[in-house]
A and B are shown apart, each in its own frame.
Chain A
Amino acid sequence: MSDFVVLSLVPMGIGAFAAVACALPGNFLILRRQALIGDAISHVVLPGIVAAFLVTGTVAALPMLAGAAGAAVVAVLLIEAIRRLGRIEPGAAMGVVFTAMFAGGVLLLERSDTSSVHLDVEHALYGNLESLIWLDATGWSSLLDSEALVGLPPELLRTAVACGAMILFVALLWRPLKISTFDEGYARSLGVRTVPLGLALVVAAAVAAVAAFDAVGSILVIAMFICPPATARLMTNRLERQVLLSAVIAAVAALAGYVFAGYGPLWLGRADAVSAAGMIATISGLMLGVACVAAPHRRRAGEPAAG
């Protein structure tokens, strides 16, 4: 059982915090028909992080956040500029900007010396959840041992803080987010500053993406922005419940995915393990699939009312 604490407890916690942090802003992105923005952000984060590393020489949390948030803002401006100057539809403008920025980030990463830190291309895609082990732990009692706690991987605190920040963001700005997501014109007539609010949502998503990114990689970040909120939307017709449910679904997917990745092949008689990030994303996709077929509220507006 001490193996579990050393090897699995921390990655599971990081996975769950990261998943919830991404799922919360994802709810609003999806309802605003901006799910692609989550996708864009998780790509754009890479050049931001690399640039921040090149400038500061560290992978500390704050420079990374600043770099990624800056990159997100640059991306939003570029998307707007391309859309307006080139008269290209927003989806295409986004696609051009985030793939180009991601590719630029990959090139930048290849050409810069990051051997001293945990930053490479593979890492950017899959993360390194499995390697975030707690070497100082000897068992459950280590949770109360201040010396062992110091040895916790910093990613745990980082994702936990991000998760808390997202909860705070959604709770504090709940009403304006809800009003402007439902009816932006009306929100503006009430005096809600919808443009800064929309930007704040994108920046919040970028913060979640950065915090999650280096632990779980961009594949999982994309999945977590979209799958849990979309699944939750099919389970309920109340925004309040949808957001809560999305957090639960994200956490369940993270925990179950990690366990299946680590032990699933073992149960099937294989000795190896599969990528935890990949398995978590796959599980959340499967949950969405099940919800599409079986959830109570999959009826779209416009179809006849149930009664």
Chain B
Amino acid sequence: MSGTGARRWLPYLLLLPGGLWLFVFFVVPMLTLASTSLQEGSLQSGYVLTWRIANYTEAVTAFREQFLRSFGYAGIATLLALVIGYPLAYVIAFRAGRWRNVLLLLVIAPFFTSFLIRTLAWKIILSDTGWVVGALKTVGVLPDNGRLLATSAAVVAGITYNFLPFMILPLYASLERIDPRYVEAAQDLYANAFTAFWRVTWPLSLPGVVAGTLLTFIPAAGDFVNVRFLGTPSQSMIGTVIDSRFLVVLDYPTAAALSFLLMLAILVLVVAYVRRAGTEELV
């Protein structure tokens, strides 16, 4: 009897450490943040919870532009990362042979340096006097007085680069699991290379695509580092605003409301996307 009793409780015991962790470091801060977002006041007089919903409506009206821009940039960067990452993951999974591990290591290698250094490196690459700008001017893509730094292009490039590994790794994991005999079977049934890919490989890799796009899009939407170093005021994203509201303007309620709105917006987008894409195999 006691044996089965212990067995019944075992799963809960196993859940306990993780559950406690989540409660202390996720649920509690969330509640604090939620409360802050509905407060009024100042540091000197103290903040009081007045259920001021207007914090939210005002935040939306004031910073709609930055919200839209954040999702726009994150969307473009995710798409670019998919276009760049898929072929790469495909090659690593199916064609790399003994180079596979080396290539995977190279994909992860940028993580050995800090996020900041990686972003700053783009300042050198895109420098007004650098060879990239020079080459683009020679080809005529950029006008003579044109530049890449301090433009939207630089910000999107920085975001794409910084989050690319988050796209490649899940794609690789899901491509690598595909049994090559499926593709062979398709070819035996007279599918050409493209049809075999489109009807067999691509659908089987969808869980990776969904995971990769989510892992790229979510942090990209809240990013504020790339804009700071590669952009200008007219590229500011919602992360920039939250940062400055919390630290500089000391407007904690608006900052908290913006944080919640960002989470909510991401949640809605993700749920809609996942429902459309399907998640049966996405674990």
Question: Does A pair with B?
Answer: no
Residues of A that sit less than 8 Å from B by CB:
none
Residues of B that sit less than 8 Å from A by CB:
none
